[in-house]
Structure 1
């Protein structure tokens, strides 16, 4: 069986699958990276090591490669979808592990998604910055037998 062209990003699959499911028939494409426009503007309104503004699909993929090199998600849930004229707003949670420390990572997000020509053209993200900060700065978890 051939590997997915997005195999390097599998650690974020719970997030990608949740987003793709939330968008349903509003967009064309199977994977998250298939449903974003080449000239997407991806904004994050928090400062925790992720760029505040990412321009372009290629740059967004590079940013997500850094994400999956550091965080492995186990699940994404508690999805609430609000369709709006220009796209949708989604609220959701992600749950995973910070790979360097083994610390649990649980966070809540609200994303405002603009869609044009059946592709995501603009993404504005809000998250629980305190939850992310606590997970990223926690000391390494000791393994228990």
Structure 2
């Protein structure tokens, strides 16, 4: 009997993303297609809002994630709601990232909405809408400590 391999869809890939965010922040590269497009439409002024290709994103993400991890510990991803779409490659996810400012012990959370598109078990498009004001306030507080 031939072996069948189940290719992960968007729900499974989102679960992997959650795991990476909590356990291995920089490890998401293996989930990205080579030609992935990652968009952050509400990025603060002066920040990149679109990354084209895995290498371009990882070039940005590595230093950003390292700087973030020195200031903030991500404790949980909560209030996750996954919305199916008519496209089997795509889901819409709502979630909240919650964590602790390392220098002060202050706990904070921020809401997100993401649109995830997966093909052949790889992320081909991720568009994330962030509550940037909440993030700036929390991370700005770390600058004052």
Instruction: Sort the TM-score into its range (normalised by shorter chain).
Output: 0.5 to 0.7
- 3-state SS in 2 of match to 1:51: coil
Q: 1:55 to 1:104 in 2, by over 3 A?
A: farther
Distance across 1 between alignment mates of 2:14 and 2:52: 19
2:41 is aligned to: 45
1:92 is aligned to: 95
Distance across 1 between alignment mates of 2:103 and 2:36: 30
1:29-83 CA distance string (max 9 Å, x none): xx63222211100000112365200111122222221232222322222211112
Corresponding residue pairs, total: 118
Q: Which runs of 5+ in 1 are unaligned?
A: 1-16, 24-30
Structure possessing the higher radius of gyration over alpha carbons:
2
Q: 1:133 to 1:64 in 2, by over 3 A?
A: same
| 1:82–1:90 Cα contact (<8 Å) kept | yes
Runs of 4+ in 1 over 4 A off after TM superposition: 97-105
| 1:19–1:32 Cα contact (<8 Å) kept | no
1:79 is aligned to: 80
The answer to which structure, 1 or 2, has the higher relative contact order (CA under 8 A, 6+ apart) is 2
Q: Which runs of 5+ in 2 are unaligned?
A: 1-11, 19-26
Question: How well do the aligned residues superpose, as a CA RMSD in angstroms?
Answer: 2.9
Give how far 1:102 is off: 6.5
- 3-state SS in 2 of match to 1:47: coil
| Counterpart among 32, 42, 45 of residue 28 in structure 2 | 32
Distance across 1 between alignment mates of 2:134 and 2:99: 12
User: Normalised by the size of structure 1, how large is the TM-score?
Assistant: 0.66
2:140 is aligned to: 137
Higher helix proportion (structure 1 or 2): 2
| 2:76–2:97 Cα contact (<8 Å) kept | yes
1:79-134 CA distance string (max 9 Å, x none): 11112213111111112345677764521110001122222111111011220121
